[in-house]
Structure 1
Amino acid sequence: MAELQFREAIKQAIDEEMESDENVFIMGEEVAEYNGAYKVTEGLLDKYGFRRVIDTPISELGFAGIGVGAAMNGLRPIVEFMTFNFAVLAADQIINHASKARYMLGGQVSTPIVFRGANASAGQLGATHSVAYDSMYAMFPGLKVIYTSEPEDAKGLLKSAIRDDDPVLFMESEQMYGLKGEVTEEEDFTIPIGKGKIKREGDDVTVVATGKMYHIAQNAAKELAKDGVECEIIDPRTIKPLDIEMIIESIKKTNRCVVVDESHPFGGLASEVGFLIQREAFDYLDAPVQRVTLPDVNAPFSKPLFDLWLPDAKNVVEAVNTVTYRK
């Protein structure tokens, strides 16, 4: 095992896929000469040159469209957005073209493209730079959405995403690029898209969390364990397709569930998981599903207000205490 930062694991995945397939290339703002806004692409320009590591103008709609066209013509582009907040400008290419090309052309065209970059809040960057977009894109048929929590998952799933013949949105938390974790040195390591993972065994309550909320859930579980409450933590890793079967099997054991989601309450991952649980496992529940989300208000700039706005371990502990009737 090697200890890598989150950014290093992502770069390793990109490097390995570019080395093994000459059709893979990466494009985006500052990915080449500047080595990437978060240093994910550091050194790739020197290794692969300007034809495969391409700096673009500040025009998300434009370079996303170039990427979609390249994918339709047999290449495998990786389109980096400095943040998915900026990718809103490219939503037409993602939603109306990449996701629908195979369907509208009767399967004659595939669009093997990865859109990747920072998702959700990063700190005091204001309301327009602090939105989680994973649930929004997961709504559209034809798109796969990945939101990883640890370096090894990031490497294995990004390699699978690059090889996938359909468009994949690969989302990363800006606050986690420096996060370190053990990454297998297994040759050509991949993780199948759509497979979640139980990352903490427990019998009292199932906690579903992804992205940086996974780490919030882990901190809460450590506090709850001091009081004898053992959480089973599931990291879906893939938002769509969602491994709901794993979640259901866990609930059959624990009979309780809390979903921790860094999006707003209406229409987010927590809402969808809650619905699927009541449809598939209603008779196993001993308490209503609880969710921990952002409030239904935009991100504040003020540091004290921002800290109140973002879910934390205390919120998760309160939700677990509610479903276990300890509150």
Structure 2
Amino acid sequence: MSPGRPASLAETINATLADLLEHDPRVVLIGEDIGRLGGVFRVTRGLQQRFGKDRVRDSVLAESTIIGQAVGMAISGLVPVCEIQFDGFVYPAVNQLVTQAARIGHRWNGQVEPSLVVRIPSGGGVRGVEHHSESNEALFARAPGISVACPSTGDDADQILRHAMGLGSPVVMYEPIRLYWRRNLPARSTEPASAPTAARVVRRGSDVTVATFGAVTNEVLEAAQALSPDVDVEVVDLRWVAPFDLDTVLTSVARTGRLLIVHEAAKYAGIGGEVAASVAEDGFHLLKGPVRRLAPDRRAYPPADFEDDYLISVRQIMNEVLEMTK
């Protein structure tokens, strides 16, 4: 990192992994091309040279074996941190994650508490082909025993990784590809989260709450700034989507009376539906109007030249907020 420049998401994750490897001999990294190459996005660049091939391991091109190894390592007392090259490649590993990693602790009556992390580059906006641009976090969010996190900043990724080391159960962390090396992010509040797994209020407001996570948090912040001062938008970055911090969302809705949920994954059966249902159940009396969701339709991610028609834009967010507050 050059002096005077803020660390990017990729640089922060690299530094956090290096620190964990340095201070905890149980930590082992596993993934396709993460060692000699430093990963497709160079997030693990230099770590194998520094810590050796036993600690930073290049795996075979088989996602099921990556997680299979990690489960065995975790049972043995190690803390493996796996990398899946793209979110669209995680499907061969679902069986190992859901039926093995998530259930080992209960299956053995709590005699083992396997800590392992699965890092997954995720999302669109980088002109990738269809199986490189998915947002499938809801797939694991519904699996008991698995925690799912979606950081939008390096600081949050650092906190998530450090918390996951001692959790005693699997954590899947979705890392927005288009934020890996981006530095010009919109301003946000530095107000800390109340706990490592809590949501973070990244912009205070009084007219409407927008709950979001991942890369699209930045579009939400841009929309909020563009609407100010006519509409005062409060932005809640969920950070963790399974379990998610309902209390922070309800506290925000109590201030604003309105809730919009924005995410990059398809609206149908997405995280937004769970947030909306939870707020309707526990906070209906706080609402001035119906909860609304803004997310892509349930369809395959389009070719690169048409991805702008799929991704949620700043203008769409602005229009939705204006509709809710008119």
TM range (shorter): over 0.9
Pairs within 5 Å for 1:133-282: 133-180=136-183, 192-226=195-229, 228-282=230-284
Corresponding residue number in structure 1 for 2:115: 112
Corresponding residue number in structure 1 for 2:99: 96
CA distance in 2, matches of 1:264, 1:293: 6
Contact residue 147 and residue 237 of structure 1 kept, 8 A:
yes
The count of residues paired between Structure 1 and Structure 2 equals 317
* Shift in Å, 1:113: 0.4
Deviations 1:180-199 (A, max 9, x none): 389xxxxxx99944211100
**TM-score of the two chains, using structure 2 as the length reference:** 0.93
Counterpart code for 1:274:
A
- SS in structure 1 of the partner of residue 73 of structure 2: helix
Deviations 1:139-171 (A, max 9, x none): 011001010001111112212112321100011
Contact residue 128 and residue 304 of structure 2 kept, 8 A:
no
Counterpart code for 1:263:
A
Corresponding residue number in structure 2 for 1:315: 316
* Shift in Å, 1:308: 1.1
Contact residue 148 and residue 240 of structure 2 kept, 8 A:
yes
Q: 1:191 to 1:111 in 2, by over 3 A?
A: farther
- SS in structure 2 of the partner of residue 63 of structure 1: helix
Corresponding residue number in structure 2 for 1:40: 43
Contact residue 68 and residue 113 of structure 1 kept, 8 A:
yes
Corresponding residue number in structure 2 for 1:27: 30
148-157 or 137-146: bigger deviation:
148-157
Identity %: 26
Deviations 1:231-287 (A, max 9, x none): 000001111121110000110110001100111111111101100111111111111
Deviations 1:163-220 (A, max 9, x none): 32110001101111002389xxxxxx99944211100000000001110110110111
Contact residue 157 and residue 191 of structure 1 kept, 8 A:
no
Deviations 1:289-327 (A, max 9, x none): 111101121111051x32111111111112111211x2x
Corresponding residue number in structure 2 for 1:186: none
Pairs within 5 Å for 1:61-100: 61-100=64-103
Contact residue 291 and residue 319 of structure 1 kept, 8 A:
no
Deviations 1:29-68 (A, max 9, x none): 1111112211111111121101101001111111210111
CA distance in 1, matches of 2:184, 2:246: 26
Counterpart code for 2:101:
A
CA distance in 2, matches of 1:74, 1:10: 23
Contact residue 267 and residue 273 of structure 2 kept, 8 A:
yes
Contact residue 123 and residue 178 of structure 2 kept, 8 A:
no
**TM-score of the two chains, using structure 1 as the length reference:** 0.93
Q: RMSD of the TM alignment (CA)?
A: 1.9
CA distance in 1, matches of 2:184, 2:12: 9
- SS in structure 2 of the partner of residue 259 of structure 1: strand
Unaligned runs of 5+ in 1: 183-188
Counterpart code for 2:322:
N
- SS in structure 1 of the partner of residue 33 of structure 2: coil
312-321 or 156-165: bigger deviation:
156-165
Unaligned runs of 5+ in 2: 186-191
Contact residue 151 and residue 180 of structure 1 kept, 8 A:
no
Counterpart code for 1:240:
A
Counterpart code for 1:48:
F
* Shift in Å, 1:130: 2.2
Contact residue 11 and residue 40 of structure 1 kept, 8 A:
yes
- Of 3, 8, 19 in structure 2, the residue corresponding to residue 5 of structure 1 is 8
CA distance in 2, matches of 1:217, 1:125: 23
Counterpart code for 2:311:
L
